[in-house]
Every structure is written in structure tokens, then in C-alpha cells.
Chains A and B, each alone.
Chain A
Amino acid sequence: MDAQGIDRSLARIAHAILEKYGGVQDVAIIGVRTRGVFLAKRLRDIMTLVENREIPLGVLDITLYRDDLTKMRKKPLMAKTEIPFSIDGKRLMLIDDVLFTGRTVRAAMDALIDFGRPRSIGLAVLVDRGHRELPIHADFVGLRIPSTFEDDVVVRLSEYDGVDEVIVMKTSKVKKR
């Protein structure tokens, strides 16, 4: 997918979210670090433009909720979680770049439950590459990419990587699960 393709997908997703919720009443967007945050900001901007209303935006770092953490000697770099509003009763839309095994989303949901009691949690992703290990599904998907487990599906965003693109790097090497 190229930059234009990403923009089109995001536009579609934004409108789909608005359609689902019938507007933005009690809606809040939570971006999952790292790239989910930029996607969330872009979605929020589109939605704000359309509805002409402020939509609360939060940033979630799920590092501390990962299930593989204490087995790692090298800890992943942590960043701050900033959710500057109460999530009680809100209809939350989680945004992430790639949906793969589903573990990141599970961790994100665990984190959100610790913050309060949202009315509902939905999930929007730019890319769904399959290979779910948990019963997680996205409500809105930009692009479904078939891949093998060993492939690398990479999303690059101009805010972070300098360019907008989605690429798949096929590998013949067998990577450890």
C-alpha cells in the first residue's frame, strides 16, 4: 500500500466509525503505541473535521501488560501512557497499525479495564495479517494481507519513519515463534 492507499483506507475507516456510532457522542479514540498513536491522530482529525466536534484522544503503552515480559532479559523501551480523561461510560475505539496474533490488543484491553469501565471497546487497524492466537477481531480493517507467520509486515508512517507505506517482507528463513 502506498501513501495514497493509506489515506483512502483511513478516510473509509473514519467514516465507518462515525456510521457505527451515529456520531461522536461519548466516543473516544485510544492509539496503541507506537504507530497506532499517529494513525489515531489522523483518524481523530478526519472525524473532527466531519462532525465539527472535539473527540478525546488517549495514548496507550501496553509494554507493562505484555504476557512475555518477564521472560525477556532485554526490556522493550517503555513510553508513557496518557489518557487525560475518564473512560467510564465511553465508547472507546482502539487504533493500531497491524493486527497479528491479537496479544497486543488483549494487553491493551487489560490496560483499559484498569483505567475504568468503558461502555464498549472497538478495534480499528490499518492492516490485518491473520494468524490470530486469541479470539480477537477487528471491527474495521484497512487492508487484509495474507502472509505466512515468518513474513514481516511493516507499516511505515511519515510522522515516525518519514514515509507512508505498507510493505511485506517475505522470508524463507524459519523464525522462532
Chain B
Amino acid sequence: MKLAAKDLLGIREMSVAEIELILDTAESFLEISTRDIKKVPTLRGKTIINFFFEASTRTRTSFEIAGKRLSADTINISASTSALIKGETLLDTAKNLEAMNPDIVVIRHSAAGAPHSIAKRIKQGVINAGDGAHEHPTQALLDMMTIRQKKGALAGLKVAIVGDIAHSRVARSNIYGLTKMGAHITLGAPATMMPMGIAQMGVNISYSLEEAITDADVVMMLRVQLERQNRHTFPSLREYASRYCLNTHNIKNAKEDVLIMHPGPLNKGVEIAADIADSPQSVILEQVTNGVALRMAVLYLLMGGGDDAN
């Protein structure tokens, strides 16, 4: 069994079979993190470069642990500590990376399409750890893994994704993945945070939180920040919270055994109330645990090359 391409750049191009392969493999990796010696020698001697142009402690740590538990050597390069100056062409960056001869490169970047451009230019496999508002495939995969664990199958589930959809790569990747696997998605956001044409992805739209999460099996809350570039999309965080914050009151619209998810880090009080985040329905911490296993699975499946063994 293998993945179609040398890279993992997005869920949109993946097949159902590939997604299932990754999820199944990830299940098998979960147990390693519970052992006393949390290591397997699988990727011993292999080099993984984590190239994070955009700061992220969470995702980077997850990839680092995943690589180390597979006995690989993991190297972290961040935009601030690297010698690669801003403004260097992507081609030069890619050539530099290739010259270091890693086995796999994990890239997070604030510009959509950057991992694609680099993947086109180097022979090593590239994993997209998040590029602008485009995709965050490993996040969506670990989200699907978590849902599958708790709910059995993904097909037929009602999933609500609430937040700044327009700027969210997590939302996009999850939409692609969950719809491929047969789930039904409803997006909840103010009109100013709904991206153009999103209904063409086969999802339902609602501008009301209560309506979006009605009868949902899974509710996924997205982090909302009003940074400089989207400061006009909503008056204030306070106003946002009053209409779109998931709390003990409005959660009643969803099914009783609803799963509560969040990619983290949480803005408690903005998109999710503290007591909801810590409730028994919340699988936010499981998402983190699964994240390591999922990334181990992805590294394992993408690593290597050469001839097929018999």
C-alpha cells in the first residue's frame, strides 16, 4: 500500500483509499506513545527538516515528537533563526534545502502555495504543515481520526464547523476530507467570514451558530482572531463571542453525545466557553494525542524510496 505522490500537500487531491490508509496506519502508531520506551527504529538515520516560516509551537512540536519517536533526526528551521533571508527566491530556498539532503521536509508557511512550489523543485517528499489559508492536511487527518475513534464511521455524520471560515485552512482541509468520507458539513459564520463560492464545495451554510450546530454529531470550533488583515470582517471579539461562542446554553442544539473539537490554541471566551472546552464531550486533548500518531503515520508512509521489496 502506498500514497500516490511523494508529497502530502493537501486533502483536496487525495483519494478516499489514501485517507483510509493513513488513518488505519495512525491507529497502529497510537500504542507506541504509551510505552515506556516511546521509540521504534523505523526511521533511524533519516533526516527530517521542519521548515517553519510561520511560527507555530504546537504543530512543530507535534511533528518533532513524531519524527523522534520514529528514531529520525529532526531539524527545526524557523524564519527567524535561519540564515535564509526573506526575499530569497523560492527556487534558491528549495535548492538550499535539497543540498542539505534531508529525507523529508515539513513546511509551514503563511503564503498559500509555498509548499507546492518547493515540492515541485526538490526530489524529497514535502509535507504541508499549513500554508496560508489554503490547507492543513495533517490537522484534518487527525480530526478525522479522532471522530472515527469516537463515532465509528465518518459517513453520514453531521459535522458543524464554526468560525472564520474565510481565513481558515483547517476548515478547508476538513471540508475536503469529511465530504470525501461521506460526512455532511454545515458551516457557521457571519457573512463577512464566509468565503466566496464555498457552497460549491457541497456544504451547507448558516449565519447562525444555533442553526449550524442543530443535530450535529460533531462541532468543530475555529480560533478567531481579528488581526490587521481581517480587522473589518467583524466589529469586535466581544460582539463575535455574543453570537458565535459555543457555550452550555447553545450546545443543547446539537446531539446529546456531540463531540466538541478545536484545532487549538483556544481563545476561551471568544469561540468556546471554558466549561465546554473542559467538558467530557470535548476531545480537544485527544486531538493532540492523535496528532502525534497521525504525523508518525504520515512520516512513515512518505519516507523512503527505491525499489519495491517483494
Q: Do A and B interact directly, with beta carbons closer than 8 Å?
A: yes
Check A175–B310 contact: CB distance below 8 A.
yes
Contact code string A116-141 (vs B, CB < 8 Å = 1, else 0): 10000000000000000000000000
Chain A: which residue is nearest B103 at the CB level? A70
Residues of B within 8 A of A174 (CB): none
Residues of B within 8 A of A176 (CB): 310
Total number of B residues with any Cβ neighbor in A under 8 Å = 28
User: Counting CB contacts under 8 A, is A61 at the interface?
Assistant: yes
Contact code string B13-50 (vs A, CB < 8 Å = 1, else 0): 00000000000110110011001110111110010000
User: Counting CB contacts under 8 A, is A51 at the interface?
Assistant: no
**Contact A70 B28, CB 8 Å, known A65-B40, A77-B1, A176-B310:** no
Distance of A69 Cα from B25 Cα, bound (Å): 15
Picked from A72, A78, A114, A175, the residue with its CB within 8 Å of the CB of B28 is A78
**Contact A75 B40, CB 8 Å, known A61-B28, A70-B46, A81-B31:** no
Residues of A within 8 A of B24 (CB): 78
User: Counting CB contacts under 8 A, is A115 at the interface?
Assistant: yes
Check B306–A71 contact: CB distance below 8 A.
yes
Residues of A within 8 A of B307 (CB): 71-73
Distance in angstroms from B309 CB to nearest chain A CB is 4
User: Counting CB contacts under 8 A, is B305 at the interface?
Assistant: yes
Residues of A within 8 A of B308 (CB): 72-74
**Contact A69 B304, CB 8 Å, known A110-B41, A114-B40, A115-B37:** yes
Chain A: which residue is nearest B297 at the CB level? A78
User: Counting CB contacts under 8 A, is B203 at the interface?
Assistant: no
Picked from A70, A114, A115, the residue with its CB within 8 Å of the CB of B304 is A70
User: Counting CB contacts under 8 A, is B2 at the interface?
Assistant: yes
A-B contact pairs, 24 of them (CB 8 A): A61-B28, A64-B32, A64-B40, A64-B42, A65-B41, A69-B42, A71-B309, A72-B306, A72-B309, A73-B305, A73-B306, A73-B307, A73-B308, A75-B2, A75-B300, A78-B25, A81-B28, A81-B31, A82-B31, A110-B41, A114-B39, A116-B36, A175-B310, A176-B310
Residues of A within 8 A of B (CB): 61, 64-65, 68-82, 110-111, 114-116, 175-176
